[in-house]
Chain A
Amino acid sequence: EAEVAQSPRYKITEKSQAVAFWCDPISGHATLYWYRQILGQGPELLVQFQDESVVDDSQLPKDRFSAERLKGVDSTLKIQPAELGDSAMYLCASSFPAGGQETQYFGPGTRLLVL
């Protein structure tokens, strides 16, 4: 069964360093989401792509976060510079358009620890 892939699974970095996360969605899924999940909270949408275009990045801290999906397939989320408060689980999800009834398929996540 096809799954969303993410790497790395864990990342430890020092504040002010740059980090990058990679996501490979399920083949054929046009919509890709990046979420941040702080411990004890639910996932919070950072950015949503439809193919290579950004649909919603209203919650993305654009001074330090960037996301791209250049060919409309895999995607990279970058943080530069990382801050202590960025420690969280970063989840990627993908879906196939279904008129608002899309099932989002989640990856295993990347757990980031900023020291």
Chain B
Amino acid sequence: AQRVTQPEKLLSVFKGAPVELKCNYSYSGSPELFWYVQYSRQRLQLLLRHISRESIKGFTADLNKGETSFHLKKPFAQEEDSAMYYCAPHNQAGTALIFGKGTTLSVSS
């Protein structure tokens, strides 16, 4: 079965601290990988995609094919980063996203 694991349900950090939200996927190959975010009272939206190799709002995501991981990182968390984060690789058919259960990031001052 194709599974996505986000081991932390809740991650609480202080403003300015580094953040790493973990994501592991269970299947081999090279799926397209995405992180989606949902801020309070807003819609689910794309944060970043692996192929773009971009940094969005200071976040980057590192793919480790050997460990089948796609962790999301930010060196200095801000209060406005508080949100629910979902790791979402493509399924093996490449037709749809498989969402993890999500990690709530809480950044306090």
Closest chain-A Cβ to B59's Cβ sits at a distance in Å of: 16
- The verdict on A48 contacting B95 (CB below 8 Å), with A40-B101, A42-B101 known, is yes
The CA-CA distance from A26 to B95 in the complex, in Å, is 19
Closest chain-B Cβ to A78's Cβ sits at a distance in Å of: 21
Q: Does A104 contact B (CB under 8 A)?
A: yes
Q: Which residue of B lies closest to A44 (CB)?
A: B99
Q: Which residues of B contact A3 (CB under 8 A)?
A: 43
Contact B51 A101 (CB under 8 A): yes
Closest chain-A Cβ to B28's Cβ sits at a distance in Å of: 17
The CA-CA distance from A106 to B36 in the complex, in Å, is 11
Q: Does B86 contact A (CB under 8 A)?
A: yes
Contact A100 B94 (CB under 8 A): yes
Contact B46 A103 (CB under 8 A): yes
List the count of A-B residue pairs having beta carbons below 8 Å apart: 47
Size category of the A interface is 20 to 34
Tell me the dominant secondary structure on chain B's binding face.
loop
Q: Which residues of A contact B96 (CB under 8 A)?
A: 33, 45, 48, 56
Contact B99 A42 (CB under 8 A): yes
Q: Which residue of B lies closest to A107 (CB)?
A: B43
The CA-CA distance from A50 to B68 in the complex, in Å, is 29
Q: Does A108 contact B (CB under 8 A)?
A: yes
Which residues of chain B from 64 to 109 have any CB-CB distance to chain A below 8 Å in the complex? Answer: 86, 88, 90, 93-102
The CA-CA distance from A101 to B52 in the complex, in Å, is 9
The CA-CA distance from A93 to B93 in the complex, in Å, is 19
Q: Does A115 contact B (CB under 8 A)?
A: no
The CA-CA distance from A4 to B43 in the complex, in Å, is 10
Which residues of chain A from 42 to 63 have any CB-CB distance to chain B below 8 Å in the complex? Answer: 42-45, 48, 55-56
Q: Which residues of B contact A40 (CB under 8 A)?
A: 101
